[in-house]
Structure 1
Amino acid sequence: MARSWWGWGNDEDAVRGAELNELLGRVRALMPGELTDHRPPDIASLGLPEPRVTAPASLAGLCSAEPADRAAHAHGKAYRDVVRNLQGDLRHVPDLVARPRDEREVTDLLDWCTREGIAVVPYGGGSSVVGGVEPRCDGRPGAVTLDMGRMDRVLEIDRTSRAARVQAGVFGPHLESRLRPHGLTLRHFPQSFEFSTLGGWLATRAGGHYATLYTHIDDLVESMRVVTPSGVSASRRLPGSGAGPSPDRLFLGSEGTLGVITEAWMRLQERPRRRAGASVRFADYAAAVAATRAIAQSGLNPANCRLLDAAESLLNAGVSVGGGVLVLAFESADHPVHHSLARAVELCRDHGGEPSADATGEPGGTSGTESGAARAAETWRSSFLRMPYQRDVLARHAVIAETFETACTWDKFEALHRAVTEAARQAMSEVTGTGVITCRFTHVYPDGPAPYFGVYAPGRWGSTVAQWDHIKAAVSEAIEASGGTITHHHAVGRDHRPWYDRQRPEPFAAALAAAKAALDPAGVLNPGVLLPAP
């Protein structure tokens, strides 16, 4: 299938037909006014500048200067990226897109770019929503996007230790297809799973399938190989070590600024065979939050523990509730999980929750009449996978539809939620006149939740990027002032830099800058991400 150069996913999977009519109908009901469709421009009409650099003969076969390649690698997949693509605003495009086939070629590419001072932007799957793959590299003689898609093999599987050595360019579905015959799974399913890579997950400390326990890709790493301009860093395979600071932790979350991840040994799991799930309605949001906290602190460790507030429940699950819906799921490859679900449901009942009729069932089983909340869970899961495609349609019709996320401790959540909600509403009032903000928990910990907010507002074509940037700045200020993190799993990139600079301790900033200088003396790796460009 053909990938969309301007938006999310595959062209064949774009929203159309009944889904399109129903989506636009909901938008018209919420946001009165004319909806005009703005279709993406042809790549030939973009007038991209000529490449400023030419690869040496030894690397020329790895590099593409085709306009379609360069346009598709100019932006990530954030709302502002999609809108700029729709408007033909590609101010920063890579001069070349390089696709190495092995680690030697990665090294050769870095050596050439280091000698010439050419910026190198590791691309992953290109699903960044924070400007992390955009070649904003002013002052450089050129920029090369490093696409690792050819390095996509599962090299070894250690069934005894339950681990696999995997190249960084593998996309989620291909990785799982290679592990499935062995009865194993990485069990890391971010929303971008189909269009993101292992290397991208590692470089951005991606959040995945599990709402508790194994929430980040960090938890699943055994060892890594990273090519830097100063040499190759290869950590030892170990289940754990107290030998000084972890070398892997230096590169996890480094977003391509310290080196290029080429492969990693990843911890695997047996594929789950036992499942049980339920949805629980709440009439009061504070009670729903308290129930979620009780479950997060119970040690039950559900695989899914996502709380949808009333607005999220209505917009994306089709259920009207006063407080919200909590979606619960447990899974195991070894033992029954219905007792764990029953206890979680009991905790919900203690806080006034109304569980679905199948709340104690094992996989495939439903008893009694399925409740609206149970149907809501399945509706929301389907909507979750279609959200990026639907976002593209809204962007084409000048509707602002974007998300942001954070994490905080439980004692700060009420104040943070209030501050962020008020900031978003005030900012929307200033630039769009109206709008809706939603909230859900994507992950929960014993000491705090990871709230994920959605913003939906009518925009003005030609101004929607500026309107969103105004809203984003307002909510980011509220997050920072309320003690939350600027990102729980979306990474820093270039867009979060102002708030990340405030969040990190100064001694750590100095140490990170020193590591950058030692590993990348010419400063060619993803300039402007995490640290100021030299």
Structure 2
Amino acid sequence: MRSWWGWGHVAEAVPDQECVQLGALLPGLPGQPLPVPRIEDLGLPPSAIAVPASLDAICTTDKAERASHTYGKAYRDTVRALYGRLDRSPDIVAYPQNEGDVVRLLDWAGDAHVAVVPYGGGSSVVGGVEYRGGDHTGVLSLDLSKLDSVIEVDPVSRAARVQAGVFGPALEDQLKPYGLTLRHFPQSFEFSTLGGWLATRAGGHYATLYTHIDDLVESLRVITPVGVSESWRLPGSGAGPSPDRLFLGSEGALGVITEAWVRLQNRPTHKASTAILFSDFADAVAATKAVAQSGLHPSNCRLLDAGEAQLSGAGDGANVLLLGFEGTAPVSALLEQAAELALAHRGRRHDRENATESWRSSFLRMPYIRDALARMSAIAETFETATTWNAVGDLVEAVRTEAKAAVQEICGAPGMVNCRFTHVYPDGAAPYFTVIAPGRRGSELSMWDEIKAAVSEVLNRHGATITHHHAVGRDHRPWYDRQRPDVFATALRAAKNALDPRNILNPGVLVTPR
């Protein structure tokens, strides 16, 4: 059973006693965790709208469904849910069974001026699947999870036609008999969908080369309020601006992605990994850059600073570079070439063979730990960015310094600010920061928002992106509006007005229409 208020499966949530033990690691936190509200105790108002009888079979106003579709899975979502603050739950949750249902729902919503929030797995951490107000008569959450099939596989071209509502594990299960894989594994893999990855330009586990879902798209099929957009299947094209690029990253504001042809790979049969330790973070960055620019294309090339390595159990006091290769041919020689490049920057081999597995286990478990800390009123959240190699050192130092200063000022006590590189490119890296600090019960949201705003200003000042793979949503809008060129904003606004003239699709994300 999925948790309605927090991350993942209910059975995997951290028990109360372990929450208390985690809270004891930070000064001044309450002695007991916030209780998890029962669905039946939530004060959800009655639905403000009703669908026509012809849509009844695919719609529900069930209280649990409405509650679980109110927010995504960010820290601020978890905290609001724990306090029972479901500020604007959807009035209706719809489960279309096919594209025809999507069309009928959009037609009705347009006529009734009902906001439609497309919903895949609901794992957004930037306010991408919630409604935050407007003049709409009601809110409909459009859950695409019934569109969950691999419709067609082209083994000759190594591609598949896939419905957008399929979750990561189900997608891979359907591809496995063909010996193929999409090989796109974000941290949310178990709880997110292909459509969600496409709509948010999600980043996968591949740390180099195929880092984003963009790289794996052959064509898209999108339902908009004014018609259907379906691009041709092509390995590449120079025919004008790409129609797929209009909808990749559009976050449900321009149309509802219902299908995609995606590029597949043969399932890897060989894997090898190692870990390199560095006493100095600057040496570790230089080593990571050398590997990223080598053309070796490791599947894993993640740099953990000393704090992040210790938090994940991958190191003790040293910075750690995790290197991994996988493929259909032996990869040990490639791994050794990458390791030699890294060792040349005053690195040394890790004496633990399971360092990579320790990190991976911690990586997958961390969202549950974050929820446990939230129940103890700690501030516990992450944010990510990307910048070029010539700027990355100064950026990381500035974020660490100013985030720690903000934590000290806002929380009245020091906190933890760790950094890792999740993805690397020949021209730059994607730093990912973890903040853990003592909060005050009842003030957790305002405290995190202040810290987040302070850090976002640092990113903007250094010309680093407000998001590398978490999308814009509503939380990043103020800084996205400043990062985005004004001329492009004009074009994006025109596209929004043309494709969604009644402004019903996920209002508030990306751009404000005329």
The TM-score bracket by the shorter chain reads over 0.9
Equivalent residue in structure 2 for 1:266, among 257, 262, 270 = 262
Letter in 1 for 2:460: E
How far apart, in 1, do the equivalents of 2:208 and 2:259 lie? 26
User: Which residue number in structure 1 is paired with residue 132 of structure 2?
Assistant: 136
Equivalent residue in structure 2 for 1:470, among 450, 458, 463 = 450
For residues 388-427 of structure 1, the C-alpha deviation after alignment (integer angstroms, 9 at most, x for no partner) is 1111111111111100000000111111111111221111
For residues 349-399 of structure 1, the C-alpha deviation after alignment (integer angstroms, 9 at most, x for no partner) is 11011123xxxxxxxxxxxxxx23x33221110011111111111111111
Aligned-pair distance for 1:33? 4.8
Equivalent residue in structure 1 for 2:190, among 187, 190, 194 = 194
Aligned-pair distance for 1:27? 4.6
Q: What RMSD in Å do the two structures reach over aligned CA positions?
A: 1.2
Distance 1:217 1:310, change over 3 A: same
Contact 1:210 1:303 in 2 (8 A): yes
User: Which residue number in structure 1 is paired with residue 271 of structure 2?
Assistant: 275
Aligned-pair distance for 1:533? 5.7
User: Which residue number in structure 1 is paired with residue 393 of structure 2?
Assistant: 414
User: Which residue number in structure 2 is paired with residue 337 of structure 1?
Assistant: 331
Contact 2:39 2:63 in 1 (8 A): yes
Aligned-pair distance for 1:137? 3.0
Aligned-pair distance for 1:507? 0.6
1:72-91 matches, within 5 Å, as 72-91=68-87
For residues 117-156 of structure 1, the C-alpha deviation after alignment (integer angstroms, 9 at most, x for no partner) is 1100001100000000011132111110100011101100
Contact 1:211 1:444 in 2 (8 A): yes
Equivalent residue in structure 2 for 1:60, among 31, 56, 61 = 56
**Are positions 1:347 and 2:341 aligned together?**
yes
Q: Which moved more, 1:146-155 or 1:132-141?
A: 132-141
Contact 1:401 1:455 in 2 (8 A): yes
Contact 1:312 1:439 in 2 (8 A): yes
For the residue of structure 2 that corresponds to 1:443, the secondary structure is strand
Equivalent residue in structure 2 for 1:94, among 90, 94, 113 = 90
How far apart, in 1, do the equivalents of 2:246 and 2:35 lie? 42
User: Which residue number in structure 2 is paired with residue 4 of structure 1?
Assistant: 3
TM superposition score normalised by structure 2? 0.98
User: Which residue number in structure 1 is paired with residue 478 of structure 2?
Assistant: 498
User: Which residue number in structure 1 is paired with residue 501 of structure 2?
Assistant: 521
User: Which residue number in structure 1 is paired with residue 297 of structure 2?
Assistant: 301
For the residue of structure 2 that corresponds to 1:439, the secondary structure is strand
How far apart, in 2, do the equivalents of 1:465 and 1:49 lie? 23
How far apart, in 2, do the equivalents of 1:502 and 1:421 lie? 22
Residue identity over aligned pairs, in percent, reads 61
For the residue of structure 2 that corresponds to 1:449, the secondary structure is strand
User: Which residue number in structure 2 is paired with residue 437 of structure 1?
Assistant: 417
Contact 2:314 2:320 in 1 (8 A): no
1:247-258 matches, within 5 Å, as 247-258=243-254
For the residue of structure 2 that corresponds to 1:12, the secondary structure is helix
For the residue of structure 2 that corresponds to 1:61, the secondary structure is helix
Structure 1 runs of 4+ aligned residues shifted over 3 Å read 23-27, 29-35
Contact 1:119 1:137 in 2 (8 A): no
User: Which residue number in structure 1 is paired with residue 366 of structure 2?
Assistant: 387
For the residue of structure 2 that corresponds to 1:495, the secondary structure is coil
For residues 495-531 of structure 1, the C-alpha deviation after alignment (integer angstroms, 9 at most, x for no partner) is 0000000001011000000011110110110000001
TM superposition score normalised by structure 1? 0.94
1:94-493 matches, within 5 Å, as 94-317=90-313, 319-322=315-318, 324-333=319-328, 335-356=329-350, 371-372=351-352, 374-433=353-412, 434-493=414-473
Q: Which moved more, 1:376-385 or 1:164-173?
A: 376-385
How far apart, in 2, do the equivalents of 1:472 and 1:390 lie? 20
